Structure 1
Amino acid sequence: MIPQSKGKMYLSDERGYNEMPWFRTYNTFNFGRYFNEHKQPFGALYVLNEDVLAGGNGFRMEIETASDIILLPVVGAITVSTNDGHNGLLEAGQVQVLHLTRGTTFEVRNPYENDLVKFLQLWIKTPIATSATLTTFDLSHKDQLHTLINNDTYSLSIGKFNGRAETTYPLKDKAKGVFVFNIEGAFEVQYRLLHNGDGLALWDVDAIEMEALSSDAIILLLEVAM
């Protein structure tokens, strides 16, 4: 029998869910009114939301703990602004990191009149202030992981894979854990099957092995302080 690394699955259909006529959100961890005793933060990562916004709509949130807010459009583009002066457009193929202190508010809006947009939010507790960064990436370079962000607290990577393509992610810091989120398609990660929206937390591991089980499958990996 092949030994499995220590891990925990976060199934897509077990996520928190909230819907309004103009907005849908799926919550991997406890968020807002959603609470499940088994969906506590994974290390410094405490929010992972998959959000859908209707045209011309937006929302505003206030940060309660100093955090890096990572925004990654999956479909379309969003505008992002904060009450301390940041304002910009973020498109699919880009990732934005904002370090926000307690009491800071940020707003996300759909700039299109009629089209839906979909994006990911990741919130990571990071007491050390970092500068706002915007990184562009190209998923047409397939079958490899692209490092988007790399700092002392976490490292974020993304990749798009052909069916049956394999790769290995060696941890940069073996004291950290890895959270894997399946954006599109199907993967086998450390001998566990992941479908769209599934997450997998792994710890006490030196490297992560994965294989795409469908064409154009997209996966996100966050190596994060525990």
Structure 2
Amino acid sequence: MDLTPGKIFLADQRGITESNILRRYSTFNFEKYNDEHRQPSGTLFVCNDETIAAGKLIFFLSKEDSYQIFFPVTGGLDIVQGGKEFSVDTGQIQILNVGKGEVLEISNPYPNDVINYIQIGITTDLFLLRASEMLYNFDFDKNQNQLIEIISNPQKLSFKLSAGIFAGREEVTYKLQNTDYKLFCFVIDGAFEI
């Protein structure tokens, strides 16, 4: 097996933004966080782990034409784009086509609980799908210790997305379809080896 050099972005080296409304950990440079070693990776330019306080909202200003991917970890979230509202719950991923300069309103619909979600941004110059076609469902309970292929349509999107929950010392093999492709792994919790 050929080994490919990689780069590890350690969790404790992420940029942090914190207020009474939001706690954001940024893997790459984002808003006021800037580090020469945290440049975007190809078309992947946003990878944030965000927590919003109960009943609060934040705004996201897109710096690029992009797909913005929302992956709830704890609780659901509401997103308003151009007057249209999208509700996304755990077990779902919502992708939105977002133009450069466009603003999204992201809110916590729960009056007493915080929410946590992952936001991923991938640059694109093609907007081929409506947002209603880009809500994906998955079930970790039915697919323990394996990668679930959530997004796998490279004809319509320029990327694939898989996710999984693994018990200690479980393994999975992921094979890239093309040597020109890149693999980005994000571990929410626990130790890992790649």
Residue identity matched to 1:182: V
Residue identity matched to 1:97: I
SS of equivalent residue, structure 2 residue 12: helix
Q: Distance in 1 between matches of 2:86 and 2:2?
A: 46
Q: Distance in 2 between matches of 1:161 and 1:3?
A: 25
Q: Which residue, out of 175, 181, 184, partners 2:180?
A: 175
Q: Distance in 2 between matches of 1:80 and 1:157?
A: 22
- 1:108 matched to 2:106? The reply is yes
Q: How far 1:74 moved relative to its partner?
A: 0.3
Q: Show the counterpart of 1:64.
A: 63
Q: Show the counterpart of 1:47.
A: 46
Q: How far 1:64 moved relative to its partner?
A: 2.5
Question: Equivalences for 1:69-218 in 2 at 5 Å?
Answer: 69-83=68-82, 85-131=83-129, 132=131, 133-140=134-141, 141-150=143-152, 151=154, 152-189=157-194
RMSD: 1.5
Residue identity matched to 2:16: Y
Q: How far 1:21 moved relative to its partner?
A: 1.1
Q: How far 1:143 moved relative to its partner?
A: 1.5
Stretches of 4+ moved more than 6 A in 1? none
| Deviations 1:13-70 (CA, angstroms, capped at 9, x unpaired) | 0000010012100000000000000100101000100000000101112223110000
Q: Distance in 2 between matches of 1:3 and 1:146?
A: 25
| Deviations 1:46-102 (CA, angstroms, capped at 9, x unpaired) | 01000000001011122231100000000011001112x431211111100001112
| Deviations 1:98-131 (CA, angstroms, capped at 9, x unpaired) | 0111222111100000101000000000111132
Q: How far 1:4 moved relative to its partner?
A: 4.8
Q: Distance in 2 between matches of 1:175 and 1:113?
A: 46
- Tell me the number of residue pairs that the alignment of Structure 1 and Structure 2 aligns: 187
Residue identity matched to 1:117: I
Q: Distance in 2 between matches of 1:117 and 1:6?
A: 35
Looking at both structures, which has the greater relative contact order when contacts are Cα pairs under 8 Å and sequence separation is at least 6? 1
> Alignment identity in percent?
36
Q: Show the counterpart of 1:195.
A: none
| Deviations 1:145-177 (CA, angstroms, capped at 9, x unpaired) | 111123252111001112221110011222111
Residue identity matched to 1:137: F
